[in-house]
Amino acid sequence: MTDLLAPEHVAALVAIAAATVVLVVAARRRPGAWLKVLAVVLVVDEVSWWVFLGAGGGEPGQRGQPLPLQLCDVAIFIAAAALWTRQSLLVETTYFWGLAGTIQALLTPDLPQHFPSYPYFQYYIAHGGVVAAALVLVVGLHLRPDNWAVVRVTAVTIAYTAAVAAVDAITGADYMFLRSKPPSPTLLDALGPWPVYLFSAAVIAVLLFALLNAPFWLRRGACRSAPLTRPG
């Protein structure tokens, strides 16, 4: 378990915040092929982790779930695809999943290894990369969610959760912590016992999606209500 006030944790968050600002500014000024390079970095970082586990690396708890089915794992591939294609549903999913979910993994990391180990760098590059990608796409490239974005991403989230729940039931695994809470402290600890915390988390997720969409919803409303000007 990572000490949330440990210098190595705080330093990682500061580095991710600084890198995100740089990337967002760069996307605004010079959007181009380098965004695909960022997508490749995310995929290589994630794949390297599963190669590392397959070679016997990591702690026993990390090797106990050999499939990349956690929401953050899938979010990495979706973020990479969004950077590569800029397809609207991929962009929206990256934005809502990244800022509503992956940030929580950064703030309360389930990471037994410490700086300067490979897992330390892999974890923060992967999770920080999703958050950075979300802001690069929406703030840097102005690929903003539309009126139905929350509904679409909620539907995607429900469908994916149901699929993972089926895998958990068949294999006895606990992907997405649908069967029990993670051993390290997380925000789920404040949401009640199983299965109450699942429903609580679902409600909070939808509320966070709506909150993240609110600035764009308000802007669209302001644009619709603005008076039309006619040329003199």
Predicted confidence pLDDT, tens digits, the chain (232 residues): 566 678 999 999 999 999 999 999 999 999 889 999 999 999 999 999 999 998 888 887 776 677 889 999 999 999 999 999 999 999 999 999 999 989 988 988 888 899 999 999 999 999 999 999 999 999 999 999 988 999 999 999 999 999 999 999 999 999 999 998 877 777 788 888 989 999 999 999 999 999 999 998 887 766 555 454 444 4
What is the value of pTM for the model shown? 0.89
For residue 62 the two structure tokens come to 């990390």
Neighbours of 127 (CB within 10 A): 25
Tell the burial category of 116 from Cβ atoms under 10 Å away from its Cβ (0-12, 13-18, 19+): exposed
Find where tokens 């967002």 sit. 24
The residue type of 192 is G
